[in-house]
Structure 1
Amino acid sequence: MGHLVPRVLGLFLSLLILAEAARNFQLLQQRVLQWREVQAMKETLSRRQLLLPAPWRAPSEGVLRQPLDHFNRQEGRAFNQRFWINEEYWHRPAGPVFLYIGGESALSQFSVLSGHHMEMAEKYGALAVALEHRFYGASINPDGLRDDSLRFLSSQQALADLASFHLFVTQKYNLTQNNTWICFGGSYPGSLAAWFRLKFPHLVFAAVASSAPVQAQLDFTGYNQVVAASLSDPVVGGSAQCREAVAQAFSAVDQRLRAGQLAELEKDFHSCGNLTEPHDREQLTSNLADIFMGAVQYNNEGFQGGSVASLCTIMINGDLGSPYQRLIAVNNDFLEAMAFPCMENSHQRLMAELRSTNLSLTGVGERQWYFQTCTEFGYYQTCEDSTCPFSRLMTLSSQLDLCTQVFGVAPERVAEAVTFTNEYYGADHPKASRILFVNGDIDPWHALSVLTNQSRSELAILINGTSHCANMNPSKKSDPRPLILAREWIDYHVGDWLRLARKAPSAS
Structure 2
Amino acid sequence: MAFTRSSAGPAGPTGPTGPTGPTVGGWLALALLLVSAGQTCSFSLGSDRSPGPTYRTYYFTQKVDHFGFYEDSVFKQRYLISDTHWKKPGGPILFYTGNEGDITLFCNNTGFMWDVAEELQAMLVFAEHRYYGDSMPFGDLSFSDPKYLNYLTSEQALADFAVLIRFLKESIKGAEDSAVIAIGGSYGGMLAAWFRMKYPHVVDGALASSAPIWQFEDLVPCNTYYQIVTNDFKKSGPGCSESVLNSWAAINRVAETSDGLQWLSNAFHLCAPLKNKDDVGAFKGWLIETWVSLAMVDYPYPANFLEPLPAWPIEVVCKFLKNPKSEERELLENIFQAVNVYYNYTGNAPCLNTSQTASGSLGDLGWSYQACTEMVMPFCSDGVSDMFEPRTWDLQAYSDDCYKQWGVRPRASWITSVYGGKNISSYSNIIFSNGGLDPWSAGGVKESISDSLVAIVIPEGAHHLDLRSNSAYDPRSVLQARALEVQYMKKWIEQHRARNGV
For residue 204 of structure 1, what is the amino acid of its counterpart? V
Between the aligned partners of 1:114 and 1:324, the Cα distance in structure 2 is 37
Count of residues in correspondence between the two structures = 452
User: SS at the partner of 2:151?
Assistant: coil
The aligned residue for residue 170 of structure 2 is: 171
After TM superposition, list the pairs within 5 Å mapping 1:150-229 onto structure 2: 150-174=149-173, 178-217=177-216, 220-229=222-231
Match of 2:309 among 304, 308, 314: 304
The aligned residue for residue 369 of structure 1 is: 367
Match of 1:83 among 68, 79, 84: 79
The aligned residue for residue 320 of structure 2 is: 314
Residue 232 of structure 1, CA deviation = 1.9
Any gaps of 5 or more consecutive residues in structure 1? 1-14, 30-35, 49-57, 351-361
Note if 1:430 corresponds to 2:424: yes
After TM superposition, list the pairs within 5 Å mapping 1:33-432 onto structure 2: 39=44, 43-45=48-50, 58-108=54-104, 111=107, 115-140=111-136, 141-146=139-144, 147-174=146-173, 178-217=177-216, 220-233=222-235, 238-239=236-237, 241-257=239-255, 261-300=260-299, 301-302=303-304, 303-305=308-310, 307-316=313-322, 322-337=330-345, 339-345=348-354, 363-379=361-377, 381-384=379-382, 386-392=384-390, 400-409=399-408, 413-414=409-410, 417-431=411-425, 432=427
1:316-369: per-residue Cα shift (whole Å, max 9, x none)? 1689875333213223444433633333346xx99xxxxxxxxxxx94232111
Task: Give yes or no for contact 1:86–1:112 (8 Å, CA) kept in 2.
Answer: no
Task: Give yes or no for contact 1:37–1:110 (8 Å, CA) kept in 2.
Answer: no
TM-score (norm 2): 0.81
Residue 73 of structure 1, CA deviation = 2.6
Residue 103 of structure 1, CA deviation = 0.7
- Taking a change above 3 Å as real, the CA distance of residues 244 and 109 of structure 1, as seen in their structure-2 partners, is closer
TM-score (norm 1): 0.80
Residue 213 of structure 1, CA deviation = 1.2
Between the aligned partners of 1:27 and 1:163, the Cα distance in structure 2 is 24
Bigger drift between 208-217 and 196-205 goes to: 208-217
For residue 246 of structure 2, what is the amino acid of its counterpart? Q
CA RMSD of aligned residues (A): 3.4
For residue 249 of structure 2, what is the amino acid of its counterpart? S
User: SS at the partner of 2:418?
Assistant: helix
Any gaps of 5 or more consecutive residues in structure 2? 15-40
Between the aligned partners of 1:485 and 1:121, the Cα distance in structure 2 is 18
Between the aligned partners of 2:182 and 2:273, the Cα distance in structure 1 is 48
Between the aligned partners of 1:390 and 1:79, the Cα distance in structure 2 is 43
For residue 273 of structure 1, what is the amino acid of its counterpart? A
Between the aligned partners of 1:445 and 1:472, the Cα distance in structure 2 is 15
User: SS at the partner of 2:255?
Assistant: helix
Between the aligned partners of 1:217 and 1:282, the Cα distance in structure 2 is 25
Residue 265 of structure 1, CA deviation = 2.1
The aligned residue for residue 28 of structure 2 is: none
User: SS at the partner of 1:203?
Assistant: coil
- Taking a change above 3 Å as real, the CA distance of residues 114 and 216 of structure 1, as seen in their structure-2 partners, is closer
Between the aligned partners of 1:273 and 1:395, the Cα distance in structure 2 is 30
Task: Give yes or no for contact 2:321–2:335 (8 Å, CA) kept in 1.
Answer: yes
Task: Give yes or no for contact 2:43–2:109 (8 Å, CA) kept in 1.
Answer: no
The aligned residue for residue 473 of structure 1 is: 468
Note if 1:493 corresponds to 2:501: no
Residue 162 of structure 1, CA deviation = 0.6
Bigger drift between 182-191 and 290-299 goes to: 290-299
For residue 131 of structure 2, what is the amino acid of its counterpart? F
Task: Give yes or no for contact 1:67–1:79 (8 Å, CA) kept in 2.
Answer: yes
For residue 142 of structure 2, what is the amino acid of its counterpart? G
User: SS at the partner of 1:491?
Assistant: helix
Q: More helix per residue: 1 or 2?
A: 1
Task: Give yes or no for contact 2:81–2:124 (8 Å, CA) kept in 1.
Answer: yes
Task: Give yes or no for contact 2:109–2:467 (8 Å, CA) kept in 1.
Answer: no
1:379-412: per-residue Cα shift (whole Å, max 9, x none)? 3654455323134479757755531221023xxx
- Taking a change above 3 Å as real, the CA distance of residues 320 and 204 of structure 1, as seen in their structure-2 partners, is same
Between the aligned partners of 1:198 and 1:293, the Cα distance in structure 2 is 30
- Taking a change above 3 Å as real, the CA distance of residues 137 and 380 of structure 1, as seen in their structure-2 partners, is farther
User: SS at the partner of 2:414?
Assistant: helix
Task: Give yes or no for contact 1:218–1:377 (8 Å, CA) kept in 2.
Answer: no
